[in-house]
C-alpha cells in the first residue's frame, strides 16, 4: 500500500461518509497557483478549486499576512473590535455600488445566507421565500431548503414557506416562466425575500432584462432581493460583483468561498443600511464573527485584487479562454462551445460525437477523461465541465489549459466506467 492509499483508507475510516468529499479520491501534498500535486507526484490543473482560488493556491502574500497576524492578534472575543475586521468591512463597503450599506461576517456561506434571510424577515415582517429550482445556497437547514423543492425525507422538515420557481436556464421559455411565477407569488404579500445567484455557478448567463424586471417586482411588493455571489463575486466574472453585469442592485449580497484568500473560511453579508433595524437580535452571533486572522486574509485578498487590477484580468483572461474554446470547437468534434462570464465558465461537449447522450453518466465520464488529461474539474450539467481558473492565471497557463481541453475534445471514446470524482456544487 502506498502512502496515498494509506491516507485515503484512514480518511475513509475516520470521517462520516457524505456525497462530494468522503471517501476521497486521493490525497494532496501541495497546491500552488493553478496546480494540485498528489502524494504520488501527479500534477493536475485545478479547474474547480471549490471557487476559493481567486489568487491561486497558496498565494505568498496572504500566507505572510496570516503569519504576521498570528503573532499580533490571533483571536478577538465578539464584544471587542479589531483593526483587520474593520479594514475588511470598510474595504467591502467601499466597493458597494448601491446606497449606504453595512456588513456582517460569518464563518461560511450557508451561515451568511441565513443572516440575509433573517434581515429580510425582520425588515418585511414576512417569513416566506422565493428561490430558483436547481440553485445552490449552502447546507444549513435554512439555506439548503432554498436549493431544491424535493428534499430527502430522511432529513425531515426544512424552513416552511419555501417557494421554488422555474429557473431562467430551463429552456427558451424559462425566463418568462420564472418572471410569471415570481409575480404570482409576490402578489400574495407573504414573501420576505427573493434569493438567487445572479448567474448560476453552472454558468448559464441570464437575459439582460431579467434581473431589472425582478428588481422592479420586488420593489412593487416590498420584498427584499438577495443575491448569492458566494461562487461568482469578488471579480470572478469580470466585475467585482456579478450583479453589476445585469443592471440590478440587490438589497443584500452574500460573499464567501474565495473571500478567505483560499486559506481560511469567511463569508460576508453586505446590505442596505436601512435594514439595520434589529439591534436587539442576534443575527449572526458567531464565535469567529470578527476573527482577526480570517478578516486579515480577506482584507489582503481585496488589496491584491485592487492593486493588481485582477477584476480586469478576469475579464480579459476569460475572453481569451472563451475565444480559444470557440476555435477548438471549430476543429475538435467533441467540443461544442462555452458559456459563462469572465473566469467562471463551463465548456460544453457534443455527446453525439462520443456516441452517447447528454446526462449524468456522460458528464461523469467527461470529468474522468479530463482527470486523465491532468485537469481536475466537475460536471456543470448533462454535457459540460467547469472551467474556473484564478484571476492570476497567466497567458501561458491559459494556453496549456486549452491544449488539454482540445485533447479531451479529440478523443474518440470516453472511459466505460464513470469516475468516482463527484460533481459538487
Residue 1 confidence (pLDDT):
83
Q: Give the range with max mean pLDDT: 13-22, 135-144, 154-163, 184-193.
A: 184-193
- Residues 78-135 have pLDDT tens digits of 889 999 999 999 999 999 999 999 999 999 999 999 999 999 999 999 999 999 999 9
CA angle 176/147/205 to nearest 5° reads 45
- Residues 42-51 have pLDDT tens digits of 999 999 999 9
Residue 120 confidence (pLDDT):
97
Per-residue confidence band for 413, with pLDDT thresholds at 50, 70 and 90:
low
User: Is the pLDDT score of 424 beyond 60?
Assistant: no
Q: Walk me through the domains of the chain, giving residue ranges and CATH numbers.
A: 60-307 (3.40.640.10), 309-409 (3.90.1150.10)
pTM over 0.85: yes
Amino acid at each position: 500500500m502506498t502512502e496515498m492509499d494509506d491516507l485515503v483508507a484512514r480518511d475513509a475510516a475516520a470521517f462520516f461518509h457524505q456525497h462530494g468529499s468522503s471517501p476521497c479520491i486521493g490525497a494532496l501534498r501541495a497546491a500552488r497557483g493553478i496546480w494540485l500535486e498528489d502524494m504520488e507526484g501527479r500534477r493536475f490543473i485545478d479547474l474547480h478549486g471549490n471557487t476559493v482560488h481567486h489568487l491561486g493556491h497558496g498565494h505568498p502574500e496572504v500566507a505572510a499576512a496570516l503569519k504576521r497576524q498570528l503573532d499580533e492578534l490571533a483571536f478577538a472575543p465578539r464584544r471587542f473590535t479589531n483593526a483587520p475586521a474593520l479594514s475588511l468591512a470598510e474595504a467591502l463597503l467601499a466597493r458597494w455600488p448601491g446606497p449606504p450599506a453595512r456588513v456582517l461576517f460569518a464563518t461560511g456561506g450557508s451561515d451568511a445566507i441565513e443572516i440575509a434571510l433573517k434581515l429580510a424577515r425582520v425588515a418585511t415582517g414576512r417569513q416566506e421565500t422565493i428561490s430558483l429550482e436547481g440553485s445552490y445556497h449552502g447546507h444549513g437547514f435554512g439555506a439548503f431548503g432554498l436549493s431544491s423543492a424535493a428534499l430527502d425525507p430522511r432529513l425531515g422538515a426544512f424552513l416552511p414557506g419555501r417557494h421554488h420557481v422555474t429557473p431562467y436556464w430551463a429552456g427558451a421559455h424559462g425566463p418568462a416562466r420564472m418572471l410569471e411565477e415570481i409575480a404570482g407569488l409576490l402578489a400574495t404579500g407573504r414573501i420576505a425575500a427573493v434569493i438567487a445567484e445572479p448567474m448560476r455557478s453552472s454558468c448559464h448567463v441570464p437575459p439582460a432584462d431579467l434581473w431589472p424586471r425582478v428588481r422592479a417586482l420586488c420593489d412593487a411588493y416590498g420584498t427584499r432581493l438577495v443575491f448569492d455571489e458566494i461562487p461568482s463575486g469578488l471579480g470572478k466574472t469580470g466585475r467585482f460583483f456579478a450583479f453589476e453585469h445585469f443592471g440590478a442592485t440587490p438589497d443584500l449580497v452574500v460573499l464567501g468561498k474565495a473571500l478567505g484568500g483560499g486559506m481560511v473560511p469567511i463569508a460576508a453579508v453586505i446590505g442596505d443600511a436601512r435594514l439595520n433595524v434589529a439591534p436587539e437580535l442576534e443575527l449572526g452571533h458567531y464565535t469567529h464573527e470578527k476573527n482577526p486572522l480570517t478578516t486579515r486574509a480577506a482584507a489582503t485578498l481585496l488589496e491584491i485584487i485592487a492593486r493588481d487590477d485582477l477584476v480586469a484580468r478576469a475579464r480579459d483572461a476569460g475572453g481569451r479562454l472563451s475565444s480559444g474554446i470557440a476555435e477548438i470547437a471549430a476543429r475538435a468534434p467533441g467540443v461544442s462551445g462555452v458559456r459563462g462570464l469572465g473566469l467562471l465558465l463551463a465548456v460544453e461537449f457534443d455527446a453525439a460525437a462520443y456516441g452517447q447522450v447528454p446526462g449524468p453518466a456522460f458528464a461523469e465520464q467527461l470529468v474522468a477523461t479530463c482527470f486523465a488529461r491532468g485537469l481536475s474539474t466537475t460536471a456543470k450539467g448533462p454535457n459540460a465541465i467547469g472551467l474556473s481558473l484564478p484571476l492570476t492565471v497567466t497567458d501561458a497557463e491559459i494556453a496549456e489549459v486549452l491544449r488539454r481541453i482540445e485533447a479531451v475534445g479529440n478523443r474518440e471514446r470516453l472511459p466505460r466506467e464513470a469516475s468516482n470524482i463527484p460533481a459538487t456544487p
